[in-house]
Structure 1
Amino acid sequence: MTAQSNNNESTFVLQYMKAMGRAVTIRVMLHLKRIKYTNKVITADEVATDRAALPFGQVPVLIETKADGSTLELGESLAIEHYLAEKFGWLGSTAEEAALLKSISLNIYFSLYNNCFVAKVPVNEAIVDPNSVFNTKALPLFIATHERWLLKNGNNGHFFGDKLTYPDLTMLHWIRLFEGLGVKLDEKSPIKKVEATIKAMEEWQGKYDAFHPFSSIDV
């Protein structure tokens, strides 16, 4: 799957598996900006066979080739997301705005990642158990925290201003993960409004469903 070019000076190769997984937000960013990029599918066996060929011995890896022929090879999914978010104008216009937007995005990520994928109790068990730490503490705190941020911005479907920014995309990722994990959010929640607002963007080019975290790419 290759996105269309918008005459950007750089071209990109994304090394990852066929699954969206940890590369989904990266792929979403490139797709929404209609940036020319190539998915280079790499299997778990290939990673294990030659970890030295990758910056940190793991994927995703983004390789950018600029107009002058120079290249940037970047590992770690969050670092790649931050780089693209800044490059594509989704981190505000000042260092202060960028820091604020990153802080919101990182709080979304770590508040949920630490509970969904690091916790001792498997997340599926935690979701089924209404008395689990996830349901009684982690999820309510997460919802209250980010509904407060969204209401502070006017409950317009964005965390900052009236346009798409990086934390909007981070939130969308976790909302869609929630779907697959069986977590139900109140349809009237400002968090669900973020999902509806982004889903309505024409930039998806009719491929919104193809970029679900649990889906795979066609190559």
Structure 2
Amino acid sequence: MSMVAKRPFITDVSIEKSIQILADPNVSYTLLYWDIFSVGATARELLAFGNAKWSNELVHTSRVGVNEDPWEEGKIPTPFGVIPVLKIVSPANEEVLVAESMVIEQYLAKKFDLFGDNEWEDLTIRGLYSNIHFFLERSLTKMTWIVPERRKRGTEIFLQHFLPEFIKDHEMHLKANGSNGHYIGERLSLADIHLANVIDHFAHLPIASLIMPSFEKSDLISKVRANVERHPLIAAWRASEEWESLRQGSFACYKKSALPDEDAEAMGLSKEE
């Protein structure tokens, strides 16, 4: 039985000290998350984009349910018993915790100037980002991590309704900005980076061949993805051995979400997929 541990935000590091740490330009960052992309991918890419001093603290998906798994034995406490968690570490090794992926990503985006130049751009980028994020969450809860006998129906609904509607909406917004491969203006924003990473998430699913062609056929969305991938700091991160290890971990983890053989065959998937 899982004994996942929890801990409060308020610890022996005072609130006043925490405020000082958050304002310190010399902090480092540690992202606590599974050894896969999923909802940790955007935060990692933001840290790379910001040229921050950071590291991964990985919880290994292959160890879940196995004896001596530190996560299930309650040896990795977090505010809500879930990850990701961002640890902001002072030069004196004092920590401030940021919990929940959306909060982490928006904190880092603000830190690295990815919310635009004015309040309108800020609000618009946040709205686009939120829509992209809940598209991912909807796929996880309605299609990927559900009981096997319901996955085929969940996948059909996703492919027939959620995916085309998402692409249509986002092509509209990208076209309104001049079809230049950015949501706002002519530079990267949180929305751009999040979109690229959410698309990458789908590329690592057993049903990727059913999903990815829809993204790839969209020139407007493909431009965003290309702009993100060609940024020098992001490209360097994606060329690293650590990134490749997370990529392989994602393939391995999501094999568990595969459709039952009969349903996969009915949807035209090969056994290799």
Report the TM range for the smaller structure's normalisation.
0.7 to 0.9
Aligned residue number for residue 80 of structure 1: 104
Q: 1:30 to 1:38 in 2, by over 3 A?
A: same
Change (3 A) 1:204 1:170: closer
Deviation digits for residues 72-114 of structure 1 (CA, Å, limit 9, x no counterpart): 2011111100100111100123344222211101111213421
Q: Does 1:10 align with 2:27?
A: yes
Counterpart of 2:176 in structure 1 is 152
The answer on whether the counterparts of 2:109 and 2:115 sit within 8 Å (CA) in structure 1 is yes
Please tell me whether residue 110 in structure 1 is matched to residue 140 in structure 2.
Answer: no
User: Residue 70 of structure 2 contacts residue 76 of structure 2 at CA under 8 Å; is this kept in 1?
Assistant: no
Moved more, 42-51 or 205-214: 205-214
Q: Secondary structure at the match of 1:41?
A: strand
**Does residue 136 of structure 2 align to residue 119 of structure 1?**
no
Number of aligned residue pairs: give it: 207
Encode CA deviations 1:163-192: one digit per residue, 9 max, x unaligned: 110000111012212323221124452001
Q: Which residue of 2 aligns with 1:193?
A: 223
The one-letter code of the counterpart of 1:91 is F
Q: Which amino acid aligns with 1:119?
A: K
Q: Secondary structure at the match of 1:139?
A: helix
- Counterpart of 2:42? 25
The percentage of aligned residue pairs carrying the same residue is 25
TM-score, structure 1 as length reference: 0.81
Kindly name which structure, 1 or 2, has the bigger radius of gyration based on alpha carbons: 2
Q: Distance in 2 between matches of 1:148 and 1:57?
A: 38
Cα distance in 2 for residues equivalent to 1:54 and 1:203: 30
Secondary structure at the counterpart of residue 64 of structure 1: strand
Out of 176-185 and 148-157, give the one that drifted further.
176-185
The alpha carbon displacement at 1:209 in A equals: 5.2
CA deviations 1:1-46 (Å, max 9, x no partner) are xxxxxx9522111112222332111111111222111222234532
Deviation, structure 1 residue 57: 1.1
Shifted more, 146-155 versus 36-45: the winner is 36-45
The runs of 5 or more residues in structure 1 that have no matched partner are 1-6
SS of 1:40's equivalent? Answer: strand
Q: TM-score, normalised by structure 2?
A: 0.66
Determine the C-alpha separation between the residues in 2 that align with 1:77 and 1:105: 12
More helix by share: 2
Q: 1:164-203 maps to which residues of 2 (within 5 A)?
A: 164-180=188-204, 181-182=208-209, 183=211, 184=213, 185-203=215-233
Question: Letter of the aligned partner of 2:36 in structure 1?
Answer: A
Q: Distance in 1 between matches of 2:79 and 2:98?
A: 7
